[in-house]
Amino acid sequence: MTDTTIATEYAEIRELLRIGNRRVDTPERFEILDPATSQVVGSCPNAAAADVIAAIDAAEEAFVAWKRTAPDARARLLRKVHDALLQEQDELARLITLEVGKPLRESRAEVEYAAEFGLWYAEEARRIYGRTALGGSDAKTWMHLVRQPLGVVGAITPWNYPLLLAARKVFAALAAGCTVILKPSELAPLSALRLGYVAERAGLPDGVLNIVTANPPDHVGDVLSGDPRVRKISFTGSIGTGKQLMEASARNLTRVSLELGGNNPFLVFEDADLEAAVDAALVAKLRNGGQTCVCANRLLVHESVLDEFTRLFSAAMRNQVVGPGLEPTTDVGPLVQPGAASRIQSAVDDAVSAGATLVCGGLPLAREDLSGGSFYPPTVLRDVPPDTRLVTEETFGPVAPIEPISNIDEAVESANRTDYGLAVYVFTESLRKALRVSEDLETGIVVVNRAAPSGVHFPQGGVKQSGIGLEGGPEGLEEFTFSKYISINA
């Protein structure tokens, strides 16, 4: 099919690798399935190690000119990509929903948010500042600190926000003057490949953005982390894969940024606006069907409002419509990862066996109209023991375990009792309490009295096992640069 065509429902897309100025096919291809129906949406080339090396070659060659491209020129190109993404918002949203199943309105929001990063980093490309000082014992030495692009970047992205997370990495790297090899998830590569088409039409030079796909994908990370020409790996995904990439990258002292998992608490104190807290918890829990690293994973509710919060929240969860994302009434789409429903069911069963009370949901949906996909109902459990998997592990699904808390100290201790440290949500009407809790939480993000941490102009990143480095904001651009100190005898 042509570069200007996007699939309608089940009109199969046949994609190609983007390496320099070439569009490359491979002898082996793999299929992408609609998780709501298991029908084939499209297919992609299964890149070999030689294809990844060719992409590194192309990126290395393109970097020579791209790093010398004026920041204003880079900014103009990124603004064009931003405009083009918004022009294709409806078609891109449909493509995202076809490959990951999320409700169409969420996919539209993803396209808009992805485009925002293009606009933000277009402006930040012109604000890569250094500093200058006069020094030396005779005050005749001019000392300059400048920031320069690292070089070739390997960007590896997951399936849950296939366009957004690719755009956030790519726009920051390009604004900094780096060239990129993007490896999207094998479960949802189509919208990321579409970003390549849009960038090409906007005038991005050949080789500045290369895209390779593979299934299974492990050898792509091996090649990227093992080649000394790749100066940085930016990865979003599982803790296990992130650690493997970090270990492999250490052999060449390749820089890494890792955005990994989260086991994010949602704290509701006794003075919280309960209706607002319930509304926010619903969004924070069920965004993308609970399949995001910043989802609220466990709800810690003050014992004095536990009954009322549970009643309101479980009623709201019961009212959520489960179905294919293309249906306009759908609130919660399918699970994407193979075996996810079985894994979630096992964790729910273990919690109930350990003494938790099942309030709603708790069994896979058996509706005939959903037989083609893997769907799980919004589920609430109360009084979940703290040593169960629903509490200790990232669920990645529409399941909300509720635990009681009695005071601030217990809330902080419970929230910090995890190997993760990505995000914490806090609901309280007390500014003093919000500030106290925010100070003591071991996390990279604190969200107070709202449902999402989103914002292109501030960075996001985790601590502990949730990762290293930042994405978004000026700091997200600096991740793709290095400092150079220049001393001049005047």
Domain edges within the chain: 13-260+466-489, 264-455
Q: Is the pLDDT of residue 140 over 60?
A: yes
CATH value of 264-455 in 3.10.180.10, 3.40.309.10, 3.40.50.2300, 3.10.20.30:
3.40.309.10
Quote the pTM value: 0.95
pLDDT in tens, 255-267: 999 999 999 999 9
Q: Is the pLDDT of residue 9 over 80?
A: no
> CATH assignment of 13-260+466-489?
3.40.605.10
pLDDT at 4: 37
Average pLDDT over residues 43-48: 98
Contact call for residues 315 and 359 (beta carbons, < 8 A): no
Q: Is residue 11 very low, low, confident or very high in pLDDT (cuts 50, 70, 90)?
A: low
pLDDT at 305: 99
Q: Is residue 136 very low, low, confident or very high in pLDDT (cuts 50, 70, 90)?
A: confident
Average pLDDT over residues 364-387: 90
Let me know if 259 is a catalytic residue.
Answer: yes
Tell which residue, 156, 168, 165, has the closest CA to residue 242: 156
Tell which residue, 50, 449, 479, 426, has the closest CA to residue 232: 479
**Of the listed ranges 243-252, 287-296, 362-371, the one predicted with least confidence:** 362-371
**Secondary structure (3-state) at 213:** coil
Let me know if 106 is a catalytic residue.
Answer: no
Per the residue annotation, which of 44, 178, 293, 295 is the catalytic one?
Answer: 293
Mean pLDDT rounded to a whole number for the chain: 95
Per the residue annotation, which of 15, 259, 394, 479 is the catalytic one?
Answer: 259
Cα–Cα dist 387/414, whole Å? 11
Q: Is residue 10 very low, low, confident or very high in pLDDT (cuts 50, 70, 90)?
A: low
State percent of the chain over pLDDT 70: 98
**Of the listed ranges 89-103, 208-222, 320-334, 365-379, the one predicted with least confidence:** 365-379
pLDDT at 1: 35
pLDDT at 12: 77
Which H, E and C letters describe 340-376, residue by residue? HHHHHHHHHHHHHHCCCEEEECCCCCCCHHHCCCCCC
CB atoms under 10 Å from CB of 283, counted, come to 13
Q: Which two tokens stand for residue 424?
A: 């914490």
Q: Would you give the distance in Å from CA 172 to the centre of its chain?
A: 14
373 burial type by CB count under 10 A (0-12 exposed, 13-18 middle, 19+ buried): buried
Q: Which two tokens stand for residue 178?
A: 């780096």
